[in-house]
Structure 1
Amino acid sequence: MSESLNPPLSYEASATTTHRHVATTLPPEVASCLKNSRFLHLATCDGMTPHIALMSYTFLASTPFGPYPTIIMTMNPSSRKTTHLMANPRVSLLVHDWVSHRPPTRANPGGSRDGSPPPAATRSSLASLLLNLNTSALSSISTTITGEARFLDPASEEETWCKDRHLENNTFEEEMSAFGQTQQPGQRRASLLIDDDVRVVTVRVREGRLADWKGGVKDWLVVQEGEESSTEPAVNGVIL
């Protein structure tokens, strides 16, 4: 493997704002990542203990209720993340657009090891093909988003509209058919069978950080026309 393709073992210094990008629209890589990814990681904290959950979500460039790009999620009212958000609405979201399966490690002449990823094993040509397809990067970037989660008022016009958009956007027909299983049109994941008491949560996509697999970092901020952008943005949730 050429040196240029080796994964980095060190990353760009990023304790402060890095290569800041300010615009009235999302960076194209961030918009593409949010449109293409199926899940995001939601990080919450109750003040002492952080918690991370894998979430289905819906990304919209804007809604009838606000001009900013918006992420919609639904939560069980008795879940840990809901309890955390009630106490502390600050969140960090991670969205990435590459698959997470690791390729096999190069052979270790000094012996075997049990770490991750495992060493290469003897496999059929079909298995090797499937593995290579699974480890192919779609774009090789990830983005973190910092902001505040907002619980929508139950039965409000905004909650009804966002719930409908979220349900429309999250079916698993493709996943079912890929495994040779039959499904009904519009069939949804069990996690999206929304009960009447489910809470609908939105996060305004306004600021975050873009990172690539080589360790490059760029902070970004979305502003509306005429909005002041001189204030230093938050980096990973911390005002510098």
Structure 2
Amino acid sequence: MADSLNPPLSYEASATTTHPHIATTLPSEVVACLKNARFLHLATCDGLTPHISLMSYTYLPSTPFDPYPTIIMTTNPASRKTNHLLSNPQVSLLVHDWVSHRPPTRGPNPCGDRDGSPPPAATRSSLASLLLNLNTSALSSISTTITGTARFLEPGSEEEAWCKERHLENNTFEEEMNMFGQQAQSPNQRRPSISIEGDARVVTVRVREGRIADWKGGVRDWTLVLDGSEHNNDQEERARPHLANGISP
């Protein structure tokens, strides 16, 4: 029974749909990524040139305006990604919750000193190697991509105001400490990549389908399909607690 609910990742060619997982709830791996990741990568395209942006985001299991899980982002109206989204709202999102710094390579270095990354392990002090190993410890071995259609919310609308408020709440830091016990960021300081002030546009993406991948290259496709009762019961949706990134404020 468990295998049918959680089909294994496939290590076969992944050019087509692989081990599709269709359910009325998001796969647990996708929920974990969306709750734990600090940022996501937003891929847009104007039809010719792809563009990737590192984005602050807010994940909600549902909103008063949409029963589907929703990702909220904001963008400067003069940005390249905004121009891309206006001409082509189709997007891909990459979410992962592990640190991505590259460790030293094990291969020989016959050419002596070399440029590029990562530098050979021999050039690192024992302290630097220790810190690097701490920083590259994987918090998870799973990432997820999400494909969908981005939607600009109507400026001044109730939905825009509600989503902007949730996004601001979710992207305001409390005091953070780095590994040396020093304050990493001032209290209530927002993430640098969040746009809220002025005429910033609010963008939402409904989470409906995507792909789970692991660090070995295995993949599994997933699709979320809600039944009709969830679409029609607006009062129940409005009464449901809306937890930003799955965590109550």
Normalised by the length of structure 2, the TM-score is 0.81
Structure 1 equivalent of residue 134 of structure 2? 133
Contact 1:12-1:215 within 8 A present in 2 as well: no
SS of the aligned residue for 2:141 comes to strand
Shift of 1:192: 2.8
**Structure 1 residue aligned with 2:118:** 117
Q: CA deviation at 1:133?
A: 1.1
After superposition, residues 26-105 of structure 1 pair within 5 angstroms as 26-105=26-105
Going from structure 1 to structure 2, the CA distance change for 1:184 and 1:122 (only over 3 Å counts) comes to closer
Summarize the Cα distance change of 1:161–1:114 in structure 2 as closer, same or farther, 3 Å threshold. Answer: same
- Once the two structures are overlaid, the 10-residue window that deviates more, 33-42 or 192-201, is 192-201
Query: Which stretches in structure 1 are left out of the alignment for 5+ residues?
Result: 1-10, 228-240
Q: Spell out, residue by residue over 1:176-205, the C-alpha distance to the aligned partner (whole angstroms, 9 max, x if none).
A: x32724755322124335223000000000
Q: Is 2:55–2:194's contact at 8 Å kept on the other side of the alignment?
A: no
Contact 1:74 1:200 in 2 (8 A): yes
- Matched AA of 1:131: L
What is the number of residues matched between the two proteins? 216
| Paired letter, 1:20 | P
What SS does structure 1 have at the residue aligned with 2:122? coil
- Does the residue aligned with 1:116 lie in a helix, a strand or coil? coil
1:169 shift after superposition = 0.8
**CA distance in 2 between partners of 1:30 and 1:97 (Å):** 11
The alpha carbon displacement at 1:55 in A equals 0.5
User: What's the secondary structure of 1:138's corresponding residue?
Assistant: coil
Report if the CA contact (8 A) 2:175-2:186 is conserved: no
Name the structure 1 match of 2:5. none
Distance change in 2, residues 1:31/1:199 (3 Å): same
Residue-by-residue CA offset, 1:127-163 (whole Å, 9 max, x unaligned)? 2221111111111111111000000011111111111
CA contact (8 A) 2:141 2:215 kept: yes
Secondary structure in 2 matching 1:137: coil
Paired position in structure 1 for 2:241: none
In the TM superposition, residue 34 of structure 1 has moved relative to its aligned partner by 0.7
1:139 counterpart SS class:
coil
Q: Give distance in 2, aligned partners of 1:105 and 1:89.
A: 40
Helix, strand or coil for the counterpart of 2:121? Answer: coil
Counterpart Cα distance in 2 of 1:125 and 1:104: 13
Change (3 A) 1:199 1:91: same
Flag structure 2 segments of 5+ consecutive residues without an equivalent. Answer: 1-10, 230-249
Identity %: 78
Residues 74, 195 of structure 2: 8 Å contact kept: no
Once the two structures are superposed, the pairs formed by residues 201-216 of structure 1 within 5 Å of their partners are 201-216=203-218
* Matched-pair contact (CA < 8 Å) for 1:44–1:81: yes
Tell me: CA distance 1:17–1:118, structure 2 relative to 1, closer, same or farther (3 Å).
Answer: same
2: CA distance, partners of 1:54 / 1:14: 25
Corresponding residue for residue 224 of structure 1: 226
CA, structure 1 residues 155+103, in 2 after alignment: closer, same or farther (shift >3 Å)? Answer: same
- Which residue number in structure 2 is paired with residue 144 of structure 1? 145
2:75 and 2:95 map into 1 onto residues whose CA distance is: 18
SS where residue 97 of structure 2 aligns? strand
For the residues of structure 1 that align with 2:216 and 2:99, how far apart are their CA atoms?
16
Residue type of the alignment partner of 1:92: S
* 1:110 partner SS: coil
Task: Name the structure 2 match of 1:195.
Answer: 197
Tell me which residue corresponds to 2:4. Answer: none
The DSSP-based 3-state class of the residue aligned with 1:192 is coil
TM-score by length of 1: 0.83
Give 1:12's aligned amino acid: E
